[in-house]
Amino acid sequence: MNSFFKQVLATCLGILLFCIVVGLLGALSLVGMIASMQSTKRVPDGSVLVLNLSGQLNERSEDNVISALTGREDTSLGLDDVLMALEKAKDNDRVKGIYMECGMFGSDSYASLNAIRRAITECRKAGKWVIAYADTYTQGTYYLASAADEVYLNPQGQVDWHGLAAEPYFLKDLLAKFGVKMQVAKVGTYKSAVEPFTATSMSDANREQITEYINGIWNEIVKSVSADRHVSADSLNSWADQLITFDAPEQYVKKGLVDSLVYTDGMKNIVCKRLDIDTEDRIPLIGVHDMCHAKGKRKGGETIAVYYAYGEVVDGMAGNPTRSSGVIDAQRVCKDLKQLADDEDVKAVVLRVNSPGGSAYASEQIWHAIRMLKGKKPVVVSMGGMAASGGYYISAAADYIVAEPLTLTGSIGIFGMFPDASQLLTEKLGVHFDVVKTNAHSDFGTLSRPFSPEEMSYLDAYIDRGYRLFRSRVAEGRKMSEADVEKLAQGRVWLGKQALSKRLVDKLGGMDVAVQKAAELAHLGDDWRTRSYPAKRTWWEQLTEGEAVDNYLNTRLQGMLGDYFQPFQLLKRFDTHTAVQTALPYIPNIK
């Protein structure tokens, strides 16, 4: 019997030691994997930067440890990484060219695509050759590819070229089927965020502004493609009307949209010819991630903080106030900006804003934090795809605003939206209510009835006061009279290039222009460097706080849902929204 227990004990100890050894090896492997992801990469001479344009383009990249562990390729790209890779490739003599491999690529906006296209053009000016290939070009990827020296297409491929359309969705009748309707108080003729819940089609004012800005975006696309492909704008518009998406591939060559029809294996010969090497030689390829981690120009000196604020503006993420990836959480942002204000090593701040707005209360809190920050050091805003409504509210406090030409901005307006489910409860579900109250409006906000006309008048006055505050914040920040702001307000959305002429922004350009202006305002000369905030979560924080799983699932879901991902997120967070909003429709839905 003693021998039996000794054997059992020895077996248990062996299993325990085995688990410890395997656990240690696994931990060391994990650390090695993460370290290899973050280590500095060496760029071989004669390298080609590969832009794999597939999946979803987001404002900022998110390193996900789950993707690394599972070996599954992340289907999202960060605009920050793409622009950094192109900037480093432009300045690196070892990089000879750029190969754009275009797939099914979705972007948050044409403003972001415009920023990438501008960076590609700068690489060409620096002497790098650029070639593009695709089995099928989406309209967005063709917009990028048209900036290349040469554009190639699969012999059985397509070039999607059809123009732009905006197709908002309307839920009024759907809600009515369930006995629910929205009670709305708003200021702004063009403030269209409530229309999906209160109408079945666009208002005349909303149709006017959407028509203006999608035509503005389309004209910019046509102008750029026309200049680089040496095709007239009239031809490009005519071909969009003819839906040449379904033309024979040879017609694209004849029209000058592509240079040649080639299968994938033929692209190696073309790249080798560019590099002046034999086809048997191995082509030194480097991806966006590795290029970002390659050595670049060393910059020392003072620090300019680049703070990323992108997504919906919210009051605070319930249950997780310390982490709010993909939203502008007022609690966290205000705390971070206070730390930047107190950090003596930070001499200026560039706030990167890409937001359709959101909570009016949260926008005011962030506005105040930026104003306090501005009292200590220069603050420059760099606008991305959108900086509208609440996104513009927080931007208006800055010393200087730089917008992309195609940024959707402005939308100075406010609304309150309150669901009335009394018909659902009483007529559909048979729930009845009675009440005893001490004052006329003691039961204000009850589910049993809609607001009375008198109560709506109070709400209208409250919303109007919020609008006047918004307008005054803009007037103060932009050094304009409130009367002049009012001419541009009423919820009207403007493109960045329109906003420039209307003094809502100071200059057109990307992040580089904003950073340079921040250095100028802080009197730093050429002796400065940038540092990104908030810091990305470490792999250990991702694993222990559950963020890695959330980000991984969201990335996979985004890849599956495409354009429907953001509406899904909107519905997911609907119950956490405050009733008073400074927001665009979350999705302009431009296709």
Q: Which residues are CB-contacts of 295 (< 8 A; sequence separation ≥ 6)?
A: 40, 42, 43
- Classify residue 452 by its DSSP letter: P
Q: In Å, how far are 39, 366, 415, 486 from 471, measured between CA atoms?
A: 48, 16, 14, 7
- Count of Cβ atoms closer than 10 Å to residue 546 Cβ: 12
- If we measure between CA atoms, which residue out of 160, 150, 158 comes closest to residue 230? 150
**Contact between residue 144 and residue 120 where contact means Cβ atoms under 8 Å apart:** yes
Helix (H), strand (E) at residue 493: strand 493-495
Distance in Å from the first CA to the final CA of the chain: 77
| Three-class SS state of 213 | helix
Which residues are registered as beta bridge partners of 533?
307
163: alpha, beta or left? (left if phi > 0; alpha if psi -120 to 50): left
- If we measure between CA atoms, which residue out of 130, 142, 50 comes closest to residue 104? 142
Q: Please give the structure tokens belonging to residue 13.
A: 């100890």
**Contact between residue 89 and residue 128 where contact means Cβ atoms under 8 Å apart:** yes
Catalytic residue among 88, 90, 191, 374: 191
* Residue 325 bears catalytic tag: no
Q: Please give the structure tokens belonging to residue 313.
A: 């503006």
**Contact between residue 187 and residue 413 where contact means Cβ atoms under 8 Å apart:** yes
* Residue 186 bears catalytic tag: no
**Contact between residue 129 and residue 161 where contact means Cβ atoms under 8 Å apart:** no
Q: Please give the structure tokens belonging to residue 456.
A: 């709506």
Catalytic residue among 61, 359, 363, 389: 389
User: So which residues are the catalytic ones?
Assistant: 191, 389
